[in-house]
Amino acid sequence: MECKRIEGFLIDYIHDDLGPAENELVRRHLLECQDCTKKSKEYEQISKIFEEQAQTQPDPKVLDNLSKIARDELERNNPPFWKRWFYFPILVPALSSIIAISAWIYYENQNLIYSPDETFYSRDVMAKKIPLNEDPNLPEIQEETVSNLESRSGRVLSDRPNPASLPDTGKKSRIQEEAINTDETAPVKEMIARRDVKEVDKSSEYKDDLFDKFETKPLNRPVPKQDTAAEDESIEVGMLAEGTLEEKADQEFREHKGKTQRAGSYSSSESTYKYKLNLALKQKKEGNCEASIKTNEELLKASPPPPDSVKEISYLSLAECYEKEGEWENAIINYRNLQKAAPDQTDFAKEKIKYIRQQTRLLKK
């Protein structure tokens, strides 16, 4: 009975897997029992003989083949990174969405530059692209208004650059420029007009006609070539429309200034020139020739230098101010500068210089 019980422990005993108590129990039994001792030794021999079994190495070809299979399997299930990345299903819609959103934001920003508040920008831009005679939206009366205004203001604009080809200056700036031109040239024409007094009576009629049209129609169109025959008529208009046109242009220019600023830095330097020029003209009109001279000189020294159209008016204004002040030499210098800035005014300038010299001679006598 005891041997049968001990036999159950014998295998664990030879493997030394028994607890201390059981191990001691088996050890004592083996000291007493010959049969169990013999059996234990036989078990040990069996165990030992299997332990000593030489290891059987697999054929190297088999191992190489298995290694290759493993690599092929890994490569098949783990494609290169770029391939996994490219075929990753979620990336396709994600990337498409990102591209679409980016494109939308980009074009949205592009549109913001020409926002509805700045429609005059768009119109000016369009004016560059659509020739005057092809613009279906241009009313006939508008052209007529401009033509009347300019022809009657005494300006010969045929040699001036077409506004449609100028940089975008805005509708109101153009109005102001025209108004200034009208205002500025009026005194000069006045002297010429004295030679032809019989046409003066017509001027009031032209004036009324001009303002009616000016108030209803914007002057944002290129000016057609001026017929020189209209020069005489323009003298009177220039004389009478002088102050009123200037004020109107000035007011509209200021209203427009806010919009221009919102629109960014677009033509900011030109706006500054116009503003200073207008200020100088206003000062001159108020009789403050000294301030006007100072403003004009600041304007002419500005960097970058103002365009010839601005210089022309500025020199003329300066010359007249000096003339009023009795500084004949400075007046002559500025009339000469006027010739350089506006070659089409050469005759006028020469005439003025000649007139000043006659006056100085008379005064000397």
Q: Enumerate helices (H) and strands (E) in the chain, giving the number of each.
A: 16, 0
Between CA 172 and CA 218 the distance in angstroms is 8
147's tokens: 């033509």
Q: Closer to other proteins by CB, 77 or 110: give it.
A: 77
Helix, strand, or coil (residue 158): coil
Between CA 282 and CA 276 the distance in angstroms is 10
Q: How many CB atoms lie within 10 A of CB 104?
A: 10
Minimum Å distance from CB 75 to other proteins? 9
If you search the block for the tokens 């996994």, which residue do you land on?
84
Minimum Å distance from CB 265 to other proteins? 58
Q: Closer to other proteins by CB, 8 or 131: give it.
A: 8
Minimum Å distance from CB 90 to other proteins? 22
Angle between helices 20-32 and 34-51 (to 10 degrees): 120
Q: Closer to other proteins by CB, 51 or 108: give it.
A: 51
69's tokens: 């299979």
Q: Closer to other proteins by CB, 66 or 99: give it.
A: 66
Minimum Å distance from CB 31 to other proteins? 21
Minimum Å distance from CB 82 to other proteins? 16
Task: Residue 171: name the closest of 113, 126, 201, 111 by CA.
Answer: 126
Q: Closer to other proteins by CB, 7 or 143: give it.
A: 7
Minimum Å distance from CB 83 to other proteins? 14
Minimum Å distance from CB 5 to other proteins? 13
Binding site for other proteins (CB under 8 A): 7-8, 11-12, 17, 39, 42-43, 45-60, 62-67, 69-71, 73-74, 78
237 neighbors 154 (Cβ within 8 angstroms): yes
- Cα distances from 179 to residues 182, 186, 238, 249, 278, in angstroms, run 5, 11, 10, 6, 10
Between CA 317 and CA 186 the distance in angstroms is 11
Peptide bond into 304 cis (omega under 30): yes
Which residue pairs from 305-312 have beta carbons closer than 8 angstroms and sit at least 24 positions apart in sequence? 306/273, 306/277, 307/270, 307/273, 308/341, 308/342, 309/160, 309/177, 310/273, 310/274, 310/277, 311/337, 311/341, 311/342, 312/338, 312/341, 312/342, 312/345
Minimum Å distance from CB 34 to other proteins? 15
221 neighbors 349 (Cβ within 8 angstroms): no
Q: Closer to other proteins by CB, 46 or 94: give it.
A: 46
Q: Closer to other proteins by CB, 52 or 215: give it.
A: 52
Between CA 359 and CA 365 the distance in angstroms is 10
> Which residues, 6 or more positions from 98, have their beta carbon under 8 angstroms from its beta carbon?
none
Q: Closer to other proteins by CB, 76 or 301: give it.
A: 76
Between CA 195 and CA 203 the distance in angstroms is 15
Minimum Å distance from CB 23 to other proteins? 16
Q: Closer to other proteins by CB, 47 or 272: give it.
A: 47
